[in-house]
Amino acid sequence: MEISILTICYLVGSISFILGLKMLSNPAKARTGNRIAALGMTIAILATIFLYRDEEGNRLHNHAWIFGGLLIGGIIGTLAAKKVKMTAMPEMVSLFNGMGGACAALISIVEYDHLVKPALKVLSYAEQNDTEFSFSIDLSTMPVIILGLIIGSISFAGSIIAWGKLNGKIKDFSFPGQHIANLTLLAIILALGVWLWFDPIAAPRFYLIFALAILYGVMFVLPIGGADMPVVISLLNSFTGVAAACGGFLYNNKAMLTGGILVGAAGTLLTILMCKAMNRSLKNVLIGSFGGASNGGASGVKSQGNYKEISLSDAAVLLTYAHKVMIVPGYGLAVAQAQHVCHELEKILENRGVEVDYAIHPVAGRMPGHMNVLLAEADVPYDKLKEMEQANDEFGTTDVVLILGANDVVNPAAKTDPSSPIYGMPILEVEKAKNVIVNKRSMKPGYAGIENELFFQPKTSMLFGDAKKALQDLIAEIKQL
């Protein structure tokens, strides 16, 4: 009877994961979807602790250790989630994703030890007593153990490197022939995995695979440029999902299997969509690495000419007497925590009869959906967020585009300069508008490390300063008109 109840609990958990993921597609239901999925996970965890029995009928024990770990992890996760800034959210996603990969790798290590330890004891006894020995090992789970180890280790190491690169602690690194070296290393890992499958009584080989997979995860992410990090985060997320699904196979845990498949599939689809949004193949992202140190940053870019600044009073007049304004949020907006002030500006302009919308590029910010989450935090109505294609159709009838910290996603070089590293990437075509106001701290290049020719066009004006302070001053100027 308990097994039936456990199966039902896993089914409830699996359904809640699917419903929660479905509800995440709607900002109005996203929070509820998160809660439903969390409730399903809680049910699956408690059911496993209290109802699971192994093949010999034994229940889980050491409840003090289990709940101690849950309590400590829960406190750390809650505090981290409450204190994290929106600008650091991509880093947290990478870090938590890495922890998931590490858990999957540890599961493989534990299960390998459980599988081969009896055989190793027989082998050791036979060698010590100079006797013949015989034993059998169920090799059916070995491929899953090996895959879980390799994918989980790569996901863990790669996510930690991504975390370091996002917070600026780790710089891009590459050397001539690195991609060939990486592919060679991956081939060696896979070859050792196949060898271990057919000859599992080789613990040193198992841990060699573990070490090489960690090394590959590091070398895999190190050369990838900053502008490609949103795609890399999505890809590593899918890796973690696949590794978790391997754990679900090992334990015959339907909820774990379903969750892993959902994460793996969602991460893969998101990676494909991100590549499509950048008009690049996944191979090009992993090998091309635009936004890395190899591009030379601004120093390697030819002079674009002069730019012009705009005063706060002139910007206020331009916005106040416009019929239609489009706001383009970017990472600079997130850094300044200016989303609430931006929403206030939007409401003030609308009260004066100005139509205000937001243009959202799919890869704006440091992770998929970064800008959507940022604006949702400020209670910006979702119907005001225009996707790239729709926004591009409307820029021609827009009086003023206000760019807040965005850079690479509005760079016309993606359309006009075949030598540019971002050439071919779809962008927000803000240059179609009658006037463009760009708020930046300075003229430094964006995350891709290249100059933006938009800043030097005749219809573009620069409004320098912190986004939050600039918007607050702009609001004060508008109120005086």
Name the DSSP class of 368.
T
Torsion of CA 248, 254, 259, 260, to 10 degrees: 30
Name the residue with tokens 């193949």. Answer: 281
Name the residue with tokens 């601004």. Answer: 298
Which of 163, 186, 161 minimizes the C-alpha distance to 174? 161
* Contact criterion met (CB below 8 Å) for 80 and 73: no
SS3 assignment, position 365: coil
- Is 473 annotated as catalytic? no
With left for phi above 0 and alpha for psi between -120 and 50, is residue 424 left, alpha or beta?
left
List, in order, residues 6 or more apart from 337 with CB less than 8 Å away: 85, 86, 87, 468
DSSP codes of every residue in 13-57: HHHHHHHHHHHTTSHHHHHHHHHHHHHHHHHHHHHHHHH-B-TT-
Token readout for 206 is: 């198992």
Note every long-range contact of 135-142, with CB atoms under 8 Å and residues 24 or more positions apart, other chains counting. Answer: 137/200, 137/201, 139/197, 139/198, 139/200, 141/111, 141/115, 141/249, 141/250, 142/115, 142/196, 142/197, 142/200
* Contact criterion met (CB below 8 Å) for 435 and 315: no
DSSP codes of every residue in 377-389: HTT--GGGEEEHH
Token readout for 112 is: 């390998």
SS3 assignment, position 225: coil
For 23, 82, 122, 335, 452, the CA distances from 75, given in Å and listed in that order, are 26, 11, 44, 27, 44
How crowded is the C-beta side of 437, counted as CA atoms within 13 Å? 28
How crowded is the C-beta side of 68, counted as CA atoms within 13 Å? 5
Which of 11, 421, 7 minimizes the C-alpha distance to 226? 421
List, in order, residues 6 or more apart from 84 with CB less than 8 Å away: 92
The catalytic residue among 54, 228, 408, 417 is 408
Task: Name the residues annotated as catalytic.
Answer: 408
